[in-house]
């Protein structure tokens, strides 16, 4: 899997910090990638390939494979946030460190994915469930509507079916546990950081909608604006 995973990159001038407040926002001209190295992006896109099209089918893998399991403890989130902090500091030496740490803490990534997964009828201990949760959250933010629980579960099942394919399964099984955590934490923070930015802005404007589209597209959803979870 090492030849698939290109150097892990977290942020490259993607966040601007506003001096008069503790909020953060996307730089619209920057990359939409938050925490996704290109190798991880390619893997996520493979796992998500045609997943929405398959949600209308009754068949699908409903049992999680061993490679689907991932353990994420509080320390893993703290360590990942420290990586983000250090990477941003490298690209912006003059950033407000207190605001940066406050912003990362305010995303409450562990809490949001735990509570949202359970609300959708999923768990936060499987890659497939976390991917479906993040996509459903992105869809919910874009459409300003609650996705149907059964649709999100169908999406998860379609993701599991893709993960069971030999070409994808072989890639995932070659990941170490640390690499698997980095992969899924990258995806999770992409969504939670954008959600916090939208919350801080107090509205969903055109720029934020475009970032939701880009974030979903990087996760393998061609157009979050046109797919349905209702």
pLDDT tens sequence across 204-213: 988 889 889 9
Angle (CA) 88-39-93 rounded to 5° is 10
pLDDT at 38 over 50: no
* pLDDT tens string 77-131: 999 888 888 877 777 788 788 888 888 899 899 999 999 999 999 999 999 999 9
- Taking the C-alpha atoms of residue 1 and residue 207, their distance in angstroms, rounded to an integer, is 35
User: Residue 47, Cα to own-chain centre: how many angstroms?
Assistant: 13
For residue 17, what is the enclosing H or E element? strand 15-17
What share of the chain in percent tops pLDDT 90? 31
Rounded to the nearest integer, the mean pLDDT of the chain is 78
Q: Which residues are CB-neighbours of 116 under 8 A, at least 6 positions away?
A: 133, 136, 137
Per the confidence metrics, is the pTM higher than 0.85? no
């Amino acid at each position: 899997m090492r030849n698939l995973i290109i150097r892990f990159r977290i942020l490259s001038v993607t966040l601007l910090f506003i001096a008069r407040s503790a909020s953060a926002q996307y730089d619209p001209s920057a990359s939409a990638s938050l925490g996704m190295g290109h190798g991880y992006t390619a893997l996520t896109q493979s796992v998500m390939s045609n997943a929405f099209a398959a949600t209308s089918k009754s068949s699908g893998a409903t049992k999680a494979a061993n490679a689907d399991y991932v353990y994420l403890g509080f320390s893993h989130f703290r360590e990942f946030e420290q990586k983000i902090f250090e990477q941003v500091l490298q690209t912006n030496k003059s950033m407000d460190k207190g605001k940066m740490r406050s912003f990362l803490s305010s995303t409450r990534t562990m809490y949001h994915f735990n509570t949202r997964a359970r609300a959708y009828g999923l768990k936060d201990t499987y890659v497939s469930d976390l991917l479906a949760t993040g996509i459903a959250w992105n869809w919910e933010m874009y459409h300003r509507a609650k996705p149907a629980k059964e649709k999100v579960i169908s999406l998860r099942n379609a993701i599991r079916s893709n993960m069971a394919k030999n070409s994808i399964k072989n890639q995932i099984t070659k990941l170490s546990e640390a690499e698997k955590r980095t992969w899924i934490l990258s995806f999770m923070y992409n969504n939670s950081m954008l959600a916090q930015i939208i919350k801080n802005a107090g509205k969903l404007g055109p720029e934020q909608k475009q970032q939701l589209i880009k974030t979903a597209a990087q996760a393998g959803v061609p157009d979050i604006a046109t797919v349905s979870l209702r």
